[in-house]
Amino acid sequence: MMMMMMMMSDTAAVLPLLSHHGNPIAPVPKAVCVCVSSKAPVNSGPKVRPPWVTDPGFADRYAPDKTSTVLTQHRQPAQPTPMQNRSSILQAAQQAPEDSARTPLCGACKKIIRGRYLVALGQSWHPEEFQCSQCKVVLDEGGFFEERGSVFCTKCYDNRYAPNCAKCKKIIIGDIMHALKMTYHVQCFMCAACKSPIRNQAFYMEEGEPYCEKDYEKMFGTKCHGCDFKIDAGDRFLEALGYSWHDTCFVCAVSTTFICTNNSTQV
């Protein structure tokens, strides 16, 4: 994630050099190459990666910068349309008069209903013909959902319209976590370090895994050796003498002149 430095050890022994007159001359200081980068330095991260981050296309679906989550809810349409109790819904049709227009017609088969029937969605139904449009289970008991002119049992409605969790692949009922252009169960979108759910708060991505701010700073944060302040993502910095520095903090100790003005220099 960061550009690595190349430098000679400052603890290596340096032997004096002799001139042709036999007099010792001062050793020539070894050049140290420092490299400047605008990406924040990081320490090594966790070695074990959960399987849900091994998808090759995962990295293309998130911004590498600091990001945040949004918490919403999967709301079923108000409440399931109540069937109330069987005795109050299943009714006995009256004796059909000669005027058949007043006789209940089944909303499914359009035939005259003789005997008991259901009333739902402003129509009458043979009990066995009021079915879930998906699994065909009879909806003579319990509740149902109406969506775009079709009726569904609770299970089929959720399978058809509830979002799926990007981690566990199961449908989400209730609170939905929106992050990385995907949806998650709240308990499935968690910090890779502390395993706490990342709710409505900012987080950082590192090698395809989300981290809460606290753990990201603890595991990957780096301080400048010159000012002792944190080197943030986007800051220009360099590695020299075994430490990390803001590029403006790496100065000559005598003249306080900035030493590094290009991507790399020698000191």
Model pLDDT, residue 73: 54
Model pLDDT, residue 254: 59
Q: Which domains does the chain have, with CATH numbers?
A: 34-41+48-69+189-267 (2.10.110), 81-158 (2.10.110.10)
Dihedrals phi, psi of 58, to nearest 5 degrees: -65, -40
Mean pLDDT by 10 residues, the chain (267 residues): 34 34 42 40 40 42 48 52 40 37 80 84 86 88 80 85 90 87 92 92 88 87 81 76 83 66 41
Other CB atoms within 10 A of residue 104 CB: 19
Please report, as a single letter, which amino acid is at residue 238: L
Alpha carbon 125 to chain centroid, angstroms = 46
pTM: 0.45
Instruction: Specify the 3-state DSSP secondary structure of 101.
Output: helix
CA dist list (Å): 265 to 2, 7, 35, 247, 261: 17, 11, 7, 12, 8
CA nearest neighbour of 109 among 94, 136, 127: 127
CA nearest neighbour of 245 among 264, 234, 230: 230
Model pLDDT, residue 84: 41
CA nearest neighbour of 183 among 193, 196, 197, 169: 169
